[in-house]
Structure 1
Amino acid sequence: MRSPRLRLAALAAAPLLLLSACATDGDADQADQTATSDDAAATSLAPTGDISELSVDTSGDEPVIERDGSAFADSDLPFVVASTETETVEEGDGDAVEEGHEVRVRYVAVNGATGEPFASTYQNDETVVIDLSNEMLFPAFLNELPGRSVGETFLLTIPAEEGFGSAGNDQLGVGPQDTLVFFMEIVDSSAPLTKATGEEVEPEAGLPEVDADGENAADITIPEGADEPTDLVAQQLIKGEGPEVQAGQTIKVHYTGVKWSDGEIFDDSYSAGQPAQFPIGVGSVIEGWDSGLVGQPVGSRVLLVIPADQAYGEAPEDTDSETAPPASPLAGETLVFVVDILGAY
């Protein structure tokens, strides 16, 4: 059963590769107790090289990181560094990257233990966004990206204890003692949106009235005596100027949610002090969000009116059954949301 609090319905999701191996809140105490042994395990391999041995062949469709001018995988492995190191390959001439920016990049990542790539955005001609306000990022990204320029390419090596640490990352084939090697290209960098920005749109008549400043929970007034819509309504209030949200992306939003039945707020992101982030278009949140937000431009403010069958379902008829699963407190409710789309990654 999905929680009615949308920020708990799906955990924040940034590109897995760019997250550190931080413990969850529930594991924090245990992580503190074992930090010393974990760090020792992660750094038990002595350094075997440094970034000066590396170069990049950019003559093909995908950059190839080499060691001493030859295939990385054929070198004397493992490649282990003692500390984070960077080396500029080509200077950029665009805007400067600043702390807290959202930085759009392309990259190739190589496992220093095997010399083989384990992730690349070039294969599908993609970019990813590194949100420098996200404290869960590898420290290397938080420390080394600010001050660089759009258009710059550079090499970056990250020792195990500053990457995935003693846990490694089984999904990516990275072990607890593996150095990470990146070739990265800075495509764009900008301050993140904090509220909807774009062209105001006149809503259709008969919809809930919205008073929103983008800094506080919206004031939503349900039209008196109006029938609840039976179909999903996705009405732009502000049309953003960014790219359209695509299914499978992670979106960053501020939102306010009220019940049509009484107009009372049951959830909002503003009380948390920061936007919510979650996958969209993949069934991680209620159907009305997936259907109503995919295709909307980033920067938009969208009014969603979601019938119960696209929210938390109809209210159960038999509430006394011992075998029936507990219903959501919002079952049977038509829900109204005002959503500011701040990013899609």
Structure 2
Amino acid sequence: MDLSAIGNYLQSLSLPAFRQRQIVKNYFSGHYSNFSQMTDLPLALRTDLDSKYSLFSVKEENILTSTDSQKALLTLGDGQKIESVLMNYHDWLTVCVSTQVGCPLKCKFCATGKMGFKRNLTSEEIVDQILYWKNALSPLSRGDAPKGQRGLRVVFMGMGEPFLNWNNLLSALNIIHSKDGLNLGARKISISTAGIIPRINNFADLNTEINLAISLHSAVQSTRESLMPIAKKFPLPKLLTSLHYYTQKTRRQVFLEYAPIADINDTQKEIDALIKLLQSDKLFFLNLIPLNPVKNGLIPSAKLSLIEKQLTAAGVNYSLRHSLGQSINSACGQLATSS
């Protein structure tokens, strides 16, 4: 919702300031899909606002559901489309947010890059993905979730590179974290980047408790370049310098994401390099992620157990992540407006 435009309109009607506060509170509650449902507003005002404004900047076009996740194809005001995902874990719900229509980075293991890049999302379009799930689908809004399952987390791991949409990302984060917005704790928010070094440094300077994840996928420069072309512009040595700056500045962990791919980044040379990188900073934490199926010719590694044994023996911090939503192409790297 364009809060500024609606605020200006209400002022033009000479309405008291508390009316705008009512609308803002209702909007962020996630319990309303249009103004007509806001019965604490006068009927004439509700009707007027519905005729002039949409409550959300995203509109559901299609929804796919699996046992552990839901994926929505959302249409934006200009007709562009994005995908957003709701993942149902044991004790919480996680909204996977997109920040761009498509992506310019063309990572080999990611379907989004095949779309090309259309445009950045506005902060409103980013926030409205979360409100869409709260309002339309989530047990958070229906009130029928089992006890302990209503906690909400947000991950910026959908379509696009968040740090290439920096200003709108910061604006959205402010709204998501603000007590006057979604009031979500910083530690419940995670941002994943392919390694945009200037913005990692900027993010470190913010000294926020929002989690930072790096799409690593190889600790060997030539391999990483072959998988992620952006690595040519931001090579590993400079990336590591930036990450060390981040850990020293914030004293917070950096989560390094690694999807083992058969005969590419699962060789002994690759794993040795990975372990050496992880041992370079005690605040590096590895998220080992099984490669999700995408039509790209890449084959998931059959060496996960062996890799785990070597990581354990080396004493590095890691976890094996379990992907949700593969059956509906909503897992990491599978989003491509194909619903």
TM-score by length of 1: 0.24
Structure (1 or 2) with the larger CA radius of gyration: 1
Q: Which has the higher strand share?
A: 1
TM-score by length of 2: 0.24
